[in-house]
Chains A and B, each alone.
Chain A
Amino acid sequence: MSQAASSISTRTIRQSSWWKRHQQKLTPIIFLTPGLLFFVVYVIWPILSSLTISLYQWDGLSPKTFIGLENYIMLFDDEYFYVALWNNVKWLVCFMLAVPVGLGLAIFLNQTIFGIRVVKSLFFFPFVISQVVIGLIFTWFYRPDYGAIAPFLNFIGLEGWSILADEDYATYGIIFAGLYPQIAYCMILYLTGLNNINSDQIEAGRMDGAKSFSLFWNIVLPQLRPATFLAIVVTVIGALRSFDMVAIMTQGGPWGSTNVLAYYMFEQALSEYGYRMGYGSAIAAILFTIMMFYIVFFIYRMYQNEKKGL
């Protein structure tokens, strides 16, 4: 590219204006400015600002008071914080189920029979629908009086059991609802991956008499690595972002038992429980730090690919 660029500039240097000589350098700046401006104002600066606010005591209206790390110290004494953090761990671990289940579904559906295209898109369907709608549906399903699973609960002798009111199981009830669209997402990633694998290797493996499982484990799965990587990334982020489902299904209850950091932060900073902006920011900062590990990992991988591409 630079070669071509220099040949243009030598050819046209005499008759061209200042703009023409510099357009190679200036164009990217002009094209980047509006997008970057928006992004800096609404994303980059707020991150730094939140990290700063976490060092203050602030109700959002009156002047801020600098309290150093006080918010974080309070946080480490706050039992609800640990409940929320532990629930985030549950979300992360259970949400990972979406990856193998999605893979299983993709393998199951990767056939060419009549109508399979429609079947695949119907399997994908839940992902397109808002989590608010999914959350509302499942909340109603779980109702012990006239929820849709009530007849089933009666049948297995758990009459009147309300999973979302049960401190020990409510989080799992929400995660189960959250898995529904997430599995669909992972499935579609794997279907695309399966579509693009090298069939020669598979045929060769079959010729050598490889059993289905060893074929899958040694040949198919390694080729699906990009899909697996992406499925894990979106699932981790989905798990840590789990706000909508909690807000819709339980609002963190019963007694804070289904809180996650994303919701607890919102509750502390913006809800009727008070406007503790500094404290909320400290929770957000913890969540941000956890997420940063994944972001750095993701970017590192992309960086490796970029270097290979050059």
Chain B
Amino acid sequence: MFPTPIQKRPFFNQVSYKILVPFSLAIWLVPLAGIMMTSIRGLGDITAGNLWGTPSEFLFFSNMADVFQNTPMLSYIINSFKITIPTMIGAVALSCMTGFALAAYKFKANLFIFFTFIAGNFVPFQILMIPVRDLTFQMGLYDTITGLVLFHVAFQTGFCTLFMRNFIKALPHELLEAARIDGTSEFNIFLKIVLPLTRPAIAALCVLIFTFIWNDYFWATVLIQGQHAMPVTAGLKSLNGQWISAYHLLSAGSIMAAIPPVMMFFLMQKHFIAGLTLGASKG
């Protein structure tokens, strides 16, 4: 254990540690506490400069209602789901297959293809922007959810392949060999042996992709123009222009935009962290 477990320290250190932890957490969460508190307030408090004091009114629900009724926030949130969920399914499905192919078979171009996926995953978005936008135009998919999803699926396949390939590679190889000797077809090896074992990896990838895509802003501005297809990140940005100084509404909207990934994180925390820290302990 590093550092020394606090239980082995003198009593004074233990007490001060137990005070210091919640104290530092409180400081760390100040920005988030700020929007929480502001979402409760009315416009009066904000213009009066009452930002950290007790709210003079409790308007959380009315602020939320205000945002839902007077802005397209609900449709932005629905769009975000329509973009995020198909991307998640598409990228994970494709990468289960590519990951399996790269982990279970030896062939000449194997490492080359694998490294291509990794390298592509790290390139700056700007180098893709103009051709991808053009291609989406030509396919008649500019300003549609489908156009955005297709790109996201393709791009995320890079990261997901890296993840899946390493996961499948770490499975005991004897499993595949035994199945082959029994005469199991390659397709059944994938479907009946490998796929059930990759369930933790699939779960981890789903939460990660959900969060990445939900929070995407760049591609939403490049490939989407109108409100009808705009996800919540781009929507919030455009609402910010309308809500000059209406920070109580901005806070309420931000909270709505943040709830789905936050829920996803807290419900699937173990998988989320396992996915994110892949390679942090070995390799």
Contacts and interface: CB of A to CB of B under 8 A. Distances in A.
Interface string B27-40: 01101101100000
Contacts of B34: 137, 141, 148
A181 B17 CA distance: 24
B17 A129 contact: no
Contacts of B101: 27-29, 31-32
B276 interface: yes
Interface string B102-123: 1011110011010111111011
Contacts, number: 318
A216 interface: yes
B2 A42 contact: no
A149 B18 CA distance: 28
A133 B236 contact: yes
A227 B281 contact: yes
Contacts of A8: 180-181, 183
Interface stretch (A92-100, A163-171, A283-291): A283-291
Interface string B166-192: 000000010011001101011100100
B254 A265 contact: no
Interface string B249-267: 0100010011001101110
A25 B109 CA distance: 12
A41 to B, nearest CB: 7
A207 interface: no
A82 interface: no
A162 interface: no
Given A4-B177, A32-B113, A266-B126, A295 B119 contact: yes
Interface in A129-184: 129-134, 136-138, 140-141, 146, 148, 150-151, 180
A36 interface: yes
A148 B51 contact: yes
B253 to A, nearest CB: 9
A305 interface: yes
A280 interface: yes
Contact of A113 (B18, B105, B262): B18
Interface in A214-243: 215-216, 219-220, 226-227, 230, 237, 240-241, 243
A65 interface: no
A46 B219 CA distance: 14
A69 interface: no
Contacts of B258: 128-130, 133
Prevailing SS type, chain A contact patch: helix
B118 A299 contact: yes
Report the interface size class on chain B.
Answer: 35 or more
A170 B176 CA distance: 57
B31 A137 contact: yes
Contacts of B3: 107, 110-111, 212, 216
A194 interface: yes
A130 B233 contact: yes
Contact of A132 (B47, B129, B233): B233
A166 B94 CA distance: 47
Contacts of B211: 128
A202 B1 CA distance: 7
Interface in A247-263: 247-248, 261-262
Contacts of A31: 97-98, 100-101, 190
Interface stretch (B58-66, B67-75, B147-155): B147-155
Nearest to B37: A148
A262 B222 CA distance: 13
A136 to B, nearest CB: 6
Interface of A: 1-2, 4-5, 7-8, 12, 20, 23-25, 27-29, 31-32, 34-36, 38-39, 41-47, 49-51, 53, 60, 107-113, 116, 119, 121-126, 128-134, 136-138, 140-141, 146, 148, 150-151, 180, 185, 188-190, 192-197, 199, 202, 206, 212, 215-216, 219-220, 226-227, 230, 237, 240-241, 243-244, 247-248, 261-262, 265-266, 269-270, 277, 280-281, 283-285, 287-288, 291, 294-295, 298-299, 302-303, 305-306
7 contacts: A42-B128, A111-B3, A119-B25, A122-B25, A128-B265, A262-B124, A269-B129
Given A216-B3, A226-B282, A262-B124, 7 more contacts: A27-B101, A31-B98, A112-B5, A123-B25, A248-B217, A288-B126, A294-B122
